[in-house]
Amino acid sequence: MPDMVSVAEVADTMFKLVKQAAGLKKYKAMDLEKAMRELYGDRVDKAVSKAAIKELIDSGRCVYTYFGGSYIEIPHTEAAANPQG
């Protein structure tokens, strides 16, 4: 049994990916999960990736966005949004 990567570490790695890609590429939940598998191999599983995404969203470090499909991004003001009244 390999040493599993912690949820916190996976969340940090995901956050870096999302932040670096801001404005260039949007990640879906499954894209992040696949990226973690590529990076950590069998040291990360579905449950850990899922918990890491949950951590990112619940802490407010990332938000879900919707542009045709649902994506995970860092919070920002989007082009379509009107200022708050």
Question: Residue 2 burial (CB < 10 Å; 0-12/13-18/19+)?
Answer: exposed
Q: What minimum distance in Å lies between the beta carbon of 66 and other proteins?
A: 5
- Considering only residues 56 through 75, tell me which ones interact with other proteins, judged by CB under 8 A: 57-58, 60, 63-70, 73, 75
User: Rounded CA gap, 33 and 23, in Å?
Assistant: 20
- Considering only residues 6 through 65, tell me which ones interact with other proteins, judged by CB under 8 A: 28-30, 50, 53-54, 57-58, 60, 63-65
Q: Are 32 and 17 in contact (CB under 8 A)?
A: yes
User: Rounded CA gap, 50 and 83, in Å?
Assistant: 33
Of 3 and 60, CB closest to other proteins: 60
The residue ranges that bind other proteins (CB under 8 A) are 28-30, 50, 53-54, 57-58, 60, 63-70, 73, 75-76, 78, 80-85
